[in-house]
Amino acid sequence: MYSLTVQDHIMIAHSFKGEIFGPAQRVHGATFVVEWELRRRRLDADGLIVDIGLMRRTLRESLDELDYRNLDDVEPLKGTNTTTEFLAGLIFELLKGKVAANALGPVTAGTYAAMKVTLRESPVAWAAYEADLP
């Protein structure tokens, strides 16, 4: 299986509900390094998984929906604990939608085998969401 990963970052503000979160129940900021990995069983006719520049632009466009925002004020995220794990899944779904809408070029069934989104919260903690693609 071949894979290609690009990365960017977002800066957000948010708060959590629940005593388990301690002081993070108050509004606080976070900067996440976001890695997007796309996997393919076979390379295309040009020897690529996807055009890396197009993949980077697509990631940036998707992250712009969250970057420099207080997630507590973003519909439909109000009232949701926007944990690192939750955000990994949310960004995965944003990117999956972009892929399905041909943001990376025409996609046929089986073009991409799987995707993974990793959010690095700090040098010692990160979360990811990954799944096969149709």
The verdict on residue 78 lying in a domain is: yes
- pLDDT score for 134: 84
Which residues, given as ranges, of the chain have pLDDT below 70? 108-109
User: Using CA atoms, how far apart are residues 34 and 82, in angstroms rounded to an integer?
Assistant: 15
**What is the number of structural domains in the chain?**
1
Which of 62, 48, 110, 51 has the alpha carbon at shortest distance from 90?
62
**What is the distance of C-alpha 62 from the center of its chain?**
8
Identify whether 2 is part of a domain. no
- Interhelix angle 52-63/84-100, rounded to 10 degrees, is 130
Residue 121 neighbours by CB under 8 Å, 6+ apart: 30, 32, 84, 127
Residue 43 resides in a domain? yes
**Hey, which bits of the chain come out as E strands?**
2-14, 28-40, 69-70, 114-122, 125-132
Residue 58 within a domain: yes
Residue 1 forms part of a structural domain: no
Quick one: CA dihedral 17, 30, 56, 60, positive or negative?
positive
Question: Could you tell me the CATH number of the domain that includes residue 77?
Answer: 3.30.479.10
Residue 127 falls within a domain, yes or no?
Answer: yes
Q: Is residue 5 part of a domain?
A: no
Which domain does 43 fall in, by range?
14-28+36-132
State the pLDDT at residue 109.
67
Q: Is residue 3 part of a domain?
A: no
pLDDT of residue 90: 98
Q: What is the pTM of this model?
A: 0.95
